Amino acid sequence: MRPTIGVLALQGDFAEHLATLDRLGVAAREVRTARDLRSVDGLILPGGESTTIGRLLERFDLVEPIRARVQAGMPVWGTCAGLILLARDVDPETRARHQLVLGLIHAVVRRNAFGSQRESFECDLLVEPLGPPPIRAVFIRAPVVSAIGPTVEVLARLPDGTPVAVRQGNAIGTAFHPELTEDARFHAWFAALVECSSVGAA
Ligand code: GLN
């Protein structure tokens, strides 16, 4: 059976992720309930507003089901707000009063790390598993990773060394939005990871 990638579709730019997966010919579907989650082999948490998505995850009873699936090995990838949700903690200065984190990547993130001057910007970034050429990374009110644990691999850094893409085993987080560019290499890489893990689980 061909694996299916779920895209959490509660708030944020889930449609752009689905469109990119569709362009690649990867089977994908929206995830809104624990039942939807059971039918997917990998999950993308989109960009949006982490506090809103967090509240909706609670309201739709998805927090524990997502944690359990990822802890059991299901690949998960969070972009921007999705990275914040995957982290273990949010820098206290930038943490909202009600800020859910799933704690699936041993990292601390700082929200809206680029301030109002550079709320949104783009740059070329070398992403380790994709190799050259670099990808065009789009940052929108983006977080950065401010601390990582020993089990976390850095996949991409800004020129000043700040980590903006991280991986802890089957959990991946990017501060930028590959779904907003034409370059589908990051999605293709994630789809390959999902394929390997679902073959391993079969
Ligand atoms: N600033 C948003 C947050 O903290 C994330 C922005 C995004 O996902 N593009 O949730």
Edge-to-edge order in the sheet of strand 87-90: 87-90, 105-110, 144-148
What letter represents residue 117's amino acid? Answer: Q
Any atom of ligand 1 within 6 Å of the Cβ of 78: no
Helix boundaries (H) for 49-201: 50-59, 63-71, 81-86, 185-201
Tokens encoding 77: 């990838």
d(CA 188, CA 61): 29
What local confidence, expressed as pLDDT, does residue 2 receive?
85
Pocket test for ligand 1, best of 13, 80, 181 (most atoms within 8 A of CB): 80
What local confidence, expressed as pLDDT, does residue 90 receive?
98
Going by alpha carbons, the residue nearest to atom 1 of ligand 1 is: 141
Any atom of ligand 1 within 6 Å of the Cβ of 140: yes
For the segment 13-63, what is each residue's pLDDT rounded down to a tens digit?
999 999 999 999 999 999 999 999 999 999 999 999 999 999 999 999 999
Per-residue pLDDT at 103 exceeds 60 = yes
For the segment 151-197, what is each residue's pLDDT rounded down to a tens digit?
999 999 999 999 999 999 999 999 999 999 999 999 999 999 999 99
d(CA 75, CA 194): 6
What local confidence, expressed as pLDDT, does residue 202 receive?
55
Helix (H, G, I), strand (E, B) or coil at 84: helix
Any atom of ligand 1 within 6 Å of the Cβ of 111: yes
Going by alpha carbons, the residue nearest to atom 5 of ligand 1 is: 81
How big is the chain, counted in residues? 202
* C-alpha distances out from residue 110 to 31, 92, 152, Å: 27, 8, 16
φ and ψ of 10, to 5 deg: -100, -35
Fold classified for 5-201: Rossmann fold (3.40.50)
**With bands split at pLDDT 50, 70 and 90, how would you rate the model's confidence at 127?**
very high
Catalytic residues: 80, 177, 179
End-to-end CA distance of the chain: 9
